[in-house]
Structure 1
């Protein structure tokens, strides 16, 4: 029997599973189409809070776990002064042919040759710092692609690769040309009216992506209003006495307060539907995200509506989503993140959308079944009489066409008109059959857990238990997995 890895279409390698504050474990993944094996440009890096260091660490753990390829030709290799090719036999990079002797050189090969694109959910440091620091080692023969929403690319271009925070390594504004920006267009069309491939963009070998923007909290910024009064413009105020314990008098504090105005700003993140081009197998990967129920700009429902149709179609297999804090965290301390109670709340929205689609499909099948039953009754009557040449020809067909002039079939059932009915039309689900939980078969991978710097129990274990309890009560049916560095997940 084929193993899960052999049957799978997508592999996800977890380079970083956390959300800080420890900088060696921040959000980062590698995704590949299994059909592309380990070919050039076949790896998609989704976020890169950590990158090269984590790849090196994973390779080091599996150092020596390889098979000699073409071992039967060792004599020929020695004559040609060639080293036998080595292929990793286990670990996340199993099946990859090692190109070098040292770990750092092989890690550089993965980053420089195998990774084709960096797909960034949003430009916060815990999602990009590895990319930025590692970017100076990128090969110069072909620029690496950095893909994301226009807001993400704008932030990277303006605030990171700007020759101040970091050199401009892009191919824009006379940069060094090591990276090239790809601005993704958000999918805003109702999924029910889309064709299967609408909105997808190929981002690397064997993988294409559909993108949505989601909300990641808000902040209130205070901006000082410009004043034309000399007093407010002067840096030296004669009313400030030398040696005073306060820089401002009470009236001056009030004046200063009134000189500020509040501006509400939103933090935008992304959700990516990543699809294997060959099999249409999909995973959904979220950046940082807040619940719709407390958001000032709720946008998750659009993602769940689209995801529901992919679940019903059997394409979507896994959802990577954050759960930064446990349920003891107060609402005002979430800062645009999820806790277990809110994550389950979001999943209930997805489950409701799945149930809605499946109910609609059952009704369609029920109508088809009713129409089929009418034809079977009519067919029984006609077969009891002598068959005419017309009915003989009709009986040889493997489907039945309705006649809009047929009074029996036309009686107050317009849904049966001009309907093609198969010989074995499906019937509506029996009430005696066990009810299928809406998210059965879906792997829910929890990411971006923020560690506590104290002696309290492991927060990941607490979050896991809280999620399991919420899921048990909600009866969603999904498998909940806590991500960890070095994990290899197949879909």
Structure 2
């Protein structure tokens, strides 16, 4: 295994403008990027274009996309720009130059012709070529591999919400000002990060847990056929560029061709600690620590108990970058979703029915009091007929739902067992203190702990409730259904719960606590 030291640069900020073309910073100039093309002529000597591209990427480019291109560099000192020609013939790039110098009746002609094999999926219609101030001819072709493009499209669609990704909405909300209606607006010129395209890039990025529970980004590129000396890894802001070089030499001059792959890493990536190594089997491993800007995304659908049926306990929870939610209790569902759409939480053109059916993937019910299950019951007929949704709860809660609500007396049996089940919901019994995976994408687990809610009538018996410890990639959220202090409830339920979560608080892994209290 060979360690490849990354080079670090600042994007579009140099002390010496000539260094853009004479130094390593020039690796980052992209003739197909409208922003690069507009800013470089201002801060650098004018390029001598041989073939200027017509392609414009600025209108569709989003941070998070990855790019590939093929580049040839050739020293053309001694030739004027008008004598240099670049063309595509079949699957070859042809570069020719012919310079004639006359002195009276005497003349001298210098010329050359060089050819290069171009990659299989190079975009021949978008060839760009230009000569830099230090007489370096640069020829570039974007590479559009259809397999990679489909992979990008599939990943992009997977990580989209109604019409924006969750992370876009988070960033827009975090870095915005409010309009007169209280809706959050993204700042002018803001370009949101596209997690879908990031996950679909040729770098094959994954966000994984390290040995101590910390998160990191792992990437893997196939670089078979290249030695460590031919590979260069460069970092500028959150952009990572991998350059693979091939050298050519003949009797007259030397030249080089390069394969470029570039990807933008998400906010929260610790770029300064990025490392890259080339394995013996020819794979370039790139990794960097990752600290998400926001561990959980929470959308309250209702926050109260009591008489207001449009604002009963229900909270949607997911992880950064996902549009798949779990619902903690379900007092108010559709009315809460409808209100959140009105407030612009889901972006433009969001449809409440679609969000209710498709974005809520599972329910966690702390106890079966009506102000915590009202929406689950009354909206059950609107759930997908062919997509049964899971309900997770302790045994006594599942029994209450099955025996007292979904029993054809109080309400049709929307569960998956009992008399004439309609199968809108699937009952899943949780075991106290045992962790269970409830979603795979995103990866979310739950560990339940029993609580005491209040006494039943004038008896000594207490009604149960539940605390849910939610975990995803080393981040935790604690939700407590209705409960009271141990001294009042005459139990040690809370003391037991705090003993379990105290280490997480000490380790700074517990991100939020929701506590609902009982009223006597």
Q: Scaled by the length of structure 2, what TM-score is found?
A: 0.42
State the structure with bigger RCO (CA 8 A, min sep 6), 1 or 2. 1
Q: Decide which structure has greater strand share.
A: 2
Q: Decide which structure has greater helix share.
A: 1
